[in-house]
Amino acid sequence: MKEPEGLVQSAERRLDEANAHLDHLERDLTRMERELDLLERDVSTLHVGGEASVFASLCVGFGPPIAVLGSALFFDTGVWPLGLLAMVIALVQVLLMPWLNRRTP
Q: What is the pLDDT of residues 39-58, one digit of tens each?
A: 877 766 655 554 555 566 66
Residues 102 and 58 in one domain: yes
What is the rounded distance in angstroms from the CA atom of residue 41 to the CA atom of residue 84? 39
Q: In which domain, by residue range, is 85 found?
A: 48-105
Same domain, 40 and 1: yes
Residues 6 and 52 reside in one and the same domain: no
- Mean pLDDT rounded to a whole number for the chain: 81
CA distance 62 to 55: 11
Residue 88 sits in the same domain as residue 73: yes
Q: Are 37 and 65 in the same domain?
A: no
- Judgement on whether residues 41 and 13 belong to the same structural domain of the protein: yes
- Rg of the chain over Cα atoms, rounded to whole angstroms, equals 28
22, 81 Cβ separation under 8 angstroms: no
Say yes or no to pLDDT of 26 above 90.
yes
User: Domain check: are 33 and 59 in the same one?
Assistant: no
Same domain, yes or no, for 38 and 59? no
pLDDT of res. 58: 66
The mean per-residue pLDDT over the stretch 5-25 comes to 92
Give this prediction's pTM: 0.42
Domain count, the chain: 2
Q: Give CA–CA dist 21/3, Å, rounded.
A: 27
What is the per-residue pLDDT across 53-97, written as a single tens digit (0 to 9) for each?
556 666 667 878 888 888 888 888 888 888 899 899 888 888 887
pLDDT at 12: 93
